[in-house]
Amino acid sequence: MNRYKLTNHRGYSLFELIVVMIIISILMAVSTRYMGNSVDVSKTEETKEELDQLAFSIVGNEALISGSHRTDYGYVGDIGALPTTLSDLVTNPGFATWDGPYLKDDFYTSSGSVESEYLVDGWGKAYTYTGGTTINSTGGSTTITRTIANASSNLLYNSVSFNIVDLANCPPGTVDKDSVLFNLTYPNGLGSYQTISKSPFADGYISFDSIPIGQQTLAVIEMKNSDTLIRKIHVNPNSLFHSTVQLPVSIWCDTTAAGGGGGGITYVSGTAQTKSGNCDRIEFDITNTSGSSITLTNITVSWVSPTAFYRKVKYDGPTVVDQKNPQVASGELATFSNSQTITSGQTVTIRLDKFESSANGGSKVDMTNTDMTVTFSDGSVLTFNSGACN
Is the pLDDT assigned to residue 372 strictly greater than 60? yes
Asked if 362 and 311 sit in the same domain, the reply is: yes
Pairing of strands 273-275, 240-246: unpaired
Reported as a single tens digit per residue, the pLDDT across 219-267 is 999 998 888 999 999 999 988 888 889 998 888 864 433 333 456 899 9
CATH number, position 171 = 2.60.40.1120
SS (H, E, C) 361-383: EEEECCCCCCEEEEEECCCCEEE
Asked if 278 and 185 sit in the same domain, the reply is: no
Q: Residue 273 is part of which domain span?
A: 265-385
Reported as a single tens digit per residue, the pLDDT across 180-197 is 999 999 999 999 999 999
Is the pLDDT assigned to residue 15 strictly greater than 80? no
Under the banding of pLDDT at 50, 70 and 90, the label for residue 287 is very high
Contact between residue 60 and residue 72 where contact means Cβ atoms under 8 Å apart? yes
Burial of 67 from C-beta contacts in 10 A (0-12 / 13-18 / 19+)? exposed
Contact between residue 244 and residue 162 where contact means Cβ atoms under 8 Å apart? yes
- Please give the pLDDT value at position 281: 96
Average pLDDT score over residue span 333-337: 92
E-only strand ranges, 157-222: 158-165, 180-187, 193-198, 205-211, 214-222
CATH number, position 338 = 2.60.40
Residue 240 pairs in a beta bridge with 159
Compute φ and ψ for 354, nearest 5 degrees. Answer: 65, 60
Residue 147 lies inside a defined structural domain of this protein = yes
How many folded domains does the chain comprise? 3
Reported as a single tens digit per residue, the pLDDT across 115-162 is 677 899 999 999 999 999 999 999 998 999 999 999 999 999 999 999
- Residues sharing a CB contact under 8 Å with residue 374, sequence separation 6 or more, in sequence order: 203, 267, 284, 299, 300, 301, 302, 350, 381, 382, 383, 384
Asked if 197 and 326 sit in the same domain, the reply is: no
Average pLDDT score over the chain: 87
Which of 135, 156, 177 is where one domain is finished? 156
Closest residue by Cα to residue 301 from 343, 354, 346, 338: 354
